[in-house]
A and B are shown apart, each in its own frame.
Chain A
């Protein structure tokens, strides 16, 4: 069975060009980039090229790029560095829709380290309450950290505007751009963020590699203390193969950015409109305009997400749900709850996230699988009668 992959906000296919770029370094070119000999230096030169390619994608300088193991490490490092740099400041600002990779770190800081963390709310469209954000900034704020784009809904926060305010008040500003990278234009010089996280496997590089951009002049303190690698900012022998892959992926992401904002956006809109048109009592979660071009989250009333996903799985379709019916979290996702999406559609929310590898035929396949799936589940549901929610 052919796989229709529309779960690109979870992870992406490693691009063929990326694999090709990495292969020699899996095999004969295994040298340690820190070695004195030419053999190791070959790898070092290639990492240098990768660093330049990453920097080019976000308009940074190569020395502002620190390679890490993943987005979570980059996020944790940014917050940890800020609180070490400003030990007297005991306040952090973030939002209530952040990724668990950073959300749980705040809980640790609150519980174990005595930090006050302000979680700025979002409205029903998933847009940030900017008034509240600006009012919450104070001399005691060590760092503001906000995601550029939400992984579940694709909703974008006005990072440039917020960065300006943070700069005016002299507060460090970090953004988690894991979902935004390769989908919207990122220019750190123009935006003026102090730190930015991105992750390889969301942009067609392999898993296990991420980046933390740290603006020149920003006080930095390492999270992983070890050797001299990454200019003493991140210890541990470089994951050279994945870093080389990430470099290539960044080069491709830059090339593909126009495709993402035309062809992929049109495919996403086509899928969204077809589903809304053919399935009654369905609605998009999140703002329609301030949104990533590849993501759509739709709530289907009176049915439950896991059931939908398992039926789609039978048709080879990969998507993800906004509900997590597991022991620890019986409520729908914290993102949909923060947006006050009603339970009747939150439990039945499905996220489709596309890439430039998707085709119109695939979108048609999804629509033709979704229509009977939702119908079958609604026929079974005690909350659905005569074509509407009861």
Chain B
């Protein structure tokens, strides 16, 4: 049994803002059916670039649902500029923390939000910058380096907890280890 906070349980059992949002002008998706979790967020942004409404649809475990629900609650009333600065830690903090192995759920929220903002601004994210390291979950070297730096990750298990990278076939674990080492030496 996972040790979830009361906030996670509450947002899982009584999720806020579920379903498609009528009049949404920004949509972002992250994850996939194959990965085991996926999120689609819908935002309604007004002419002052303020998020006036938000909703979500999620496939995944309890913490994926709770992270999505929390994210939409955080976003409501926020300006797009502030929303762009949101991190996965903000989502996790809002829920009173997530089990380490479930941190990737909050990362998924952040990633879907980024895509929704890009969608609103008309920016096409054709390709993720950097080189794909984890083929199973399509995670790039730049994403891994960024996560290692931001969250002070030390082991490949840490990276898997945050990004899922390495949690599938495991072929890329050596490369992930090299990336962690490179951050340690170069800072």
Complex CA distance for A329 and B137, rounded to whole angstroms: 12
B38 within 8 A of A: yes
Contacting pair A310 B33 (CB below 8 A):
no
Complex CA distance for A344 and B36, rounded to whole angstroms: 9
A3 within 8 A of B: no
A380 within 8 A of B: yes
Stretch from B116-124, B142-150, B159-167 contacting the other chain: B159-167
Selected contact of A327 from candidates B12, B40, B60, B167, CB within 8 Å: B167
Selected contact of B62 from candidates A310, A323, A381, A382, CB within 8 Å: A310
Contacting pair A347 B33 (CB below 8 A):
yes
Stretch from A258-266, A285-293, A300-308 contacting the other chain: A300-308
Complex CA distance for A329 and B34, rounded to whole angstroms: 13
Residues from chain B with Cβ under 8 Å of A305 in the complex: 61
Selected contact of B161 from candidates A310, A327, A332, A381, CB within 8 Å: A327
Residues from chain A with Cβ under 8 Å of B62 in the complex: 306-307, 310
A326 within 8 A of B: yes
Contacting pair B101 A307 (CB below 8 A):
no
Contacting pair B13 A327 (CB below 8 A):
no
B35 within 8 A of A: yes
Residues from chain B with Cβ under 8 Å of A380 in the complex: 15, 18-19, 57-59, 65
Report how many residues on chain A are interfacial, defined by Cβ distance under 8 Å.
Answer: 26
Contacting pair B33 A343 (CB below 8 A):
yes
Main secondary structure of the interface of B (DSSP, over half): mixed
B53 within 8 A of A: no
A-B residue pair count with CB separations less than 8 angstroms: 80
Closest to A313 in B: B1
Q: Which of B132-187 contact A (CB under 8 A)?
A: 136-137, 157, 160-161, 164, 167-168
Residues from chain B with Cβ under 8 Å of A327 in the complex: 100-101, 157, 160-161, 167
Complex CA distance for A383 and B39, rounded to whole angstroms: 10
Residues from chain B with Cβ under 8 Å of A381 in the complex: 57-59
Contacting pair A330 B36 (CB below 8 A):
yes
Residues from chain A with Cβ under 8 Å of B12 in the complex: 307, 310
Q: Which of A54-86 contact B (CB under 8 A)?
A: none
Selected contact of B18 from candidates A326, A330, A343, A379, CB within 8 Å: A379
B37 within 8 A of A: yes
Complex CA distance for A347 and B36, rounded to whole angstroms: 6
A-B contacts, 9 of them at CB < 8 A, read A325-B37, A327-B161, A330-B160, A331-B167, A380-B18, A380-B57, A381-B58, A382-B58, A383-B33
Q: Which residues of A contact B (CB under 8 A)?
A: 302-307, 310-311, 314, 323, 325-332, 343-344, 347, 379-383
Further 14 A-B residue pairs, CB within 8 A, beyond A307-B62, A327-B101: A302-B33, A304-B59, A304-B61, A305-B61, A306-B2, A307-B61, A310-B62, A327-B160, A330-B35, A330-B137, A330-B160, A381-B57, A383-B38, A383-B59
